[in-house]
Amino acid sequence: MSRVIDLRGFKKIFLMIFICFLAATSAVSFVSFRYPLKYIDIIEENTQLYEIDPSWVCAIIHAESKFAVKALSHKGASGLMQVTEATAEWIAERMRLPEYNYESIFDPDINIKIGCNYLAWLLNHYRDNMNLALAAYNAGSGNVDKWLKNPEYSKDGASLDYIPFAETRDYVKRVNANRKIYLLLLKNRQA
């Protein structure tokens, strides 16, 4: 009789392990589906060039377009990293991209190149303060520069205590939350 009890206990333990395995596999599949790692070779190449952690660019792309190559915003931004025509043309000129035209912004290679260069410029402009760079990526550097000069929004002129645009406040929070997930996904990818 003790063998039957041991066998039943073993079956219960095996069933619990199997259920945990299925739950873990489903969770990983869900996260991978919800937070894709598309174009990672292009992202890693460009982030290495500009010394930016690739998890930031993945997080920005997720917040901007959810990795939809043909994404268009109501504000006229396009592609994976949602770059406006004026910004794309300014960055392309700075980068001396051969044969650039705005229609090519939907090419993941071009879009990520331009987006990473712009992010690097913002990080340099804001002395590596990623939250300021993210706020400027969303609301424009002109707005962020004004906010930094306003004691209502910045006590020290170097960081923001309050972001007056709700969309930009939410954007910075969303990108930071996305980044935590992409840090884990990229770490697991390398393992």
**What positions carry a catalytic annotation?**
64
- Both tokens of residue 151? 């004691």
Residue 17, CA atoms < 13 Å, CB-side half-sphere: 6
Among candidate residues 107, 104, 67, 68, the one with its CA nearest the CA of residue 89: 104
Residues 40/9, Cβ–Cβ less than 8 Å:
no
Separation in Å, CA 5 to CA 51, 58, 148: 60, 51, 70
User: Residue 159: which residues within 8 A CB-CB, separation 6 or more?
Assistant: 129, 131, 132, 148
